[in-house]
Amino acid sequence: MRHNFYITVHHLNLSKMPAKIRLQRHGRKRYAYYHIVIADSRAPRDGSNIERIGSYNPNTNPATIELDFDKAIDWLAKGAQPTDTVRAILSYKGVMFKKHLLGGVAKGAFTAEVADTRFEAWVAEKANKVQAKKDGLVTNIETSKKTQFEMETKKNEERMKTIAKRNADAAAAARAASAPAPVAVEEVAEEAAPEEAEG
Q: Which tens digits make up the pLDDT trace of 154-196?
A: 888 888 888 888 888 888 887 777 766 555 555 555 555 555 5
Between CA 63 and CA 32 the distance in angstroms is 12
| Residue 141, Cβ density class (10 Å: 0-12 exposed, 13-18 middle, ≥19 buried) | exposed
Same domain? For 73 and 127 the reply is no
Q: Does some domain include residue 151?
A: yes
pLDDT of 196: 52
Q: Are both 60 and 119 inside the same structural domain?
A: no
Q: Looking at this protein, which amino acid is placed at residue 123?
A: V
Within-domain flag for 189: no
In this structure, the answer to whether residues 116 and 71 fall within a common structural domain is no
Q: Decide if 45 is inside a domain.
A: yes
Same domain, 70 and 36: yes
**Residue 15 in this model has a pLDDT that exceeds 50:** no
191 lies in some domain: no
Please name the residues in contact with 35: beta carbons below 8 A apart, sequence gap of 6 or more: 23, 24, 26, 49, 52, 54, 55, 56
For residue 62, the domain's CATH number is 3.30.1320.10
Q: What is the pLDDT of residue 145?
A: 80
In this structure, are 30 and 82 located in the same domain? yes
Residue 131 lies in a domain: yes
Q: Is the distance from CB of 90 to CB of 112 less than 8 angstroms?
A: no
- What pLDDT was estimated at residue 187? 53
The residue from 87, 122, 151 where one domain ends is 87
Domain count, the chain: 2
**What is the value of pTM for the model shown?**
0.59
CB 50 within 8 A of CB 38: yes
Structural domain includes residue 3: no
Mean pLDDT over 10-26 rounds to 68
pLDDT of residue 13 exceeding 70: no
Distance CA 96, CA 87 (A): 8
Q: Cα(198)–Cα(185) distance, rounded to whole angstroms? A: 25
Residue 82 three-state SS: strand
Q: Distance (Å, rounded) from C-alpha 124 to C-alpha 74?
A: 23
- CB-side neighbour CA atoms (13 Å) of 152: 6
Cβ atoms of residues 88 and 36 within 8 Å: no
Range of the domain at 124: 110-172
Q: 25 with 82, same domain?
A: yes
